Amino acid sequence: MLAGIPVRDQDVLELARLLRDAGFDETAEKLEEGYDRETKILALTIPEREAILRALEDCPDGLAELRTVRLREHEGRVREGLV
């Protein structure tokens, strides 16, 4: 689970690749380390969540739900003046 959303193992690795391609190496590394350690639930900071949202602009089907939830969360933070 990433920030409360179930994500399949193979999609975690795909997300890490997308993050690296977008220049978010630290977030990618955190996901890869969580994968290697077989972490079941991985908490993410707000900047990490925003990096994921940016990396998922043209996301594969397996990551569409994660992108949708992250986008709604980001919009809520903007409405509340938190970003």
Tens of pLDDT, residue by residue, the chain (83 residues): 887 788 888 999 999 999 999 999 999 999 999 999 999 988 889 899 889 989 988 888 888 888 888 888 888 888 888 77
For every residue of 49-65, DSSP letters joined together read HHHHHHHTTT--GGGHH
pTM, entire model: 0.80
The pLDDT value given to residue 74: 81
The pLDDT value given to residue 71: 83
Q: Residue 11 to residues 15, 19, 75: CA-CA distances in angstroms?
A: 6, 12, 24
Residue 18: count other Cβ atoms within 10 Å of its Cβ. 21
The pLDDT value given to residue 30: 96
